Amino acid sequence: MTAIEGMRARVGAAIFARVAGADGPAQRDRIHDTDGPRRFAPDDPIGRVHGDASMFVGGLRALLLQSLHPLAMAAVDGHSGFRGDPWGRLQRTSTFLAQTTFGTTADADLAVDVVRAVHERVRGTAPDGRPYAASDPHLLRWVHVAEVDSFLRAHDRYGANPLEPDERDTYVEQAAVVARALGAEDVPTSVAELDAALAQFRPELAGTAAARRTARFLLIHPPVPLALRVPYGLLSAAAVGMMPRWTRLPLRLPYLPLTEATAVRASGILITSTIRWALRPGPVVER
């Protein structure tokens, strides 16, 4: 192994440990290597999107966008513990995405059952007095729409092999399978329907105090070691640069269109390319 390959392996292992946890390698082997029927092939649009480094940007954007729904934000703020254990939440989310995208049908169904059981216990009252439940099909639809819109747009901009127009529709349709299994209703199955759904939600969205605290936590006081602040800053800048203009004021996010189109985009390409390089499989060593 060359010095460069050794460095790549070390950086890749550190990144993977952050997003997948200590059990990440064993989980990865189980998800990808277990025999059995699968809903999606690795080269399907959903596999290409969810397996790409652009998900690091898309995931941050999704969290920021999701926070704009007051009831969804109240559920997260009151029950998820994302501030106390942000890496644990990330690891659980990344494992769920891997299981439902690349795992066997049985493994994917089990992952969905576990999440549905958790959702049944997440209930409460938002600061504005409205009751919420994580199992509410309407809230599940919002979380799904925000995620799929973010993942797809991040892949369009920073993915290694962007999807063709018909493949983008297929991605939305394939992602809808998981959303319906979780209990969401009336989920979009094409890009046009996805855009329409996002527009339909806009009257319900607002920049609450909890949403702004979340934005500050994710962007200004991130739970990352000092050595990772610069690469994380590049990821978060790329995520903010992809947020719709109408979200900036409610979340107190900057809007610098020229900078976002040039320097931020270039740094987003750099960091996602670096992550992709670090996480790619190493050379096979003959014995």
- Size of the chain in residues: 287
Asked if 102 and 47 count as a contact pair (C-beta separation under 8 A), the reply is yes
Contacts of 70 (CB under 8 A, 6+ apart): 126, 127, 128, 130, 204, 205, 206, 208, 211
Q: What is the average pLDDT across 140-151? A: 97
- Give pLDDT tens digits for 240-273: 999 999 999 999 999 999 999 999 999 999 999 9
- What are the distances in angstroms from CA 174 to CA 46, 125, 234? 6, 33, 30
Q: Is the predicted pLDDT of residue 136 greater than 90, yes or no?
A: yes
> Rounded to two decimals, what is the model's pTM?
0.91
Are the beta carbons of 5 and 282 closer than 8 angstroms? yes
Which structure tokens are listed for 180?
């319906």
